[in-house]
Amino acid sequence: MTFGVNDKRVDFVQAFQSLPVDGNLGRLLVDACRLFEDMPDVVVGLENEVHDDLSDEALKELHAEFNAGTDFCFHVLKTVRDCAFVLDQVMCEQFTKHDARLIRWLDRFDYQVEQDECVFMFDRGRRGYPRLSRERREKRLDEWRARLVRRVSKYEKAKKKWIEAKEEIVKEEIVKEENTVDNYILDPEEEYDSDDSDDGAEGMRLWLYGSHLRTENRIPKESKFVLRKLIRYPFNKTEHIKTCSIPFYSPALPQNVVDPNAWTKAEVALDNLAPTHRPTEAEAECGVWKASEPLSNFATKQMLHGLDSMADLVLRG
């Protein structure tokens, strides 16, 4: 998977698999790199791209920025999650352990990001909000985490009730698909998941297994992938890295035309923006690349607070 550092095209897995693990989010990223490295040969990104190597000093700056828990951490984890989801949709010759590892990693991502550690940290470079002292920021973050845990707890209870009602139907559906679809049979001798998990996660995993068995939900292995968004993240206090370009890919549908110059067009659109110390993003709209400043993580968190309140009202109702 290609991503950009300054004017270089760099291999994402090679750059981040040596990340010094500093917390659960770092472990999540390193495990994803190992997972991608073990996957069968599938190109998600730029085809036939020659990747440059980063110097040791640049790698240290890259890893330090991720472990600092800034917006860069959020964007990197988001693109890794999207990449894992894309790989999860790619059709293999049969349901293999790679699929189970992807499902398990996506499970871990949802748990770590939503419950264990919150990447919607207060944005240090936000505009329009007064700067908070460290104590007040930590207090507000603790309150946010507490609300999130309560919301997740209510959601888990509702999900468990739904799964208890649907689990038998799901199992019957999987058996039916196993008997009717060739080349998508689970090997009963293979252990697909060794993690201890609750009934809700296991039920969801069963549903995902059934989804994999349906051929209409799989994407042919020879599919092309298109660049749908490029985020340019500025490194403001480093010597060797000035910007990082973080790509987001999606599988190309039959009606899509794969543009080999999409990355260059996205960079041109980003170059046309006024200079800023904040992240910027470019997206294609009807074949035309347009650049803008995305919502900060702080604004996203405020929006989620509103959704949290709505969810509480719905659950109480």
Nearest to 118 by CA among 93, 95, 145: 145
Structure tokens at 91: 């059709």
Give 122's DSSP letter. Answer: P
Spatial separation of the C-alpha atoms in residues 10 and 241, rounded to whole Å: 13
pLDDT of the chain, 317 residues: tens digit per residue: 888 999 889 999 999 999 998 888 889 899 999 888 877 666 666 777 788 999 999 999 999 999 887 788 888 988 888 888 777 666 444 445 566 777 788 878 877 765 544 444 433 433 333 344 556 556 656 665 666 566 556 656 665 665 665 566 556 655 555 554 444 444 444 444 444 444 444 444 444 444 444 444 444 555 667 888 999 999 988 889 999 999 988 777 666 677 888 899 999 999 998 888 888 899 988 778 998 876 555 455 555 445 444 444 444 44
Spatial separation of the C-alpha atoms in residues 217 and 121, rounded to whole Å: 35
Residues with Cβ < 8 Å from 4, sequence gap 6 or more?
10, 243, 244, 245, 246, 247, 263
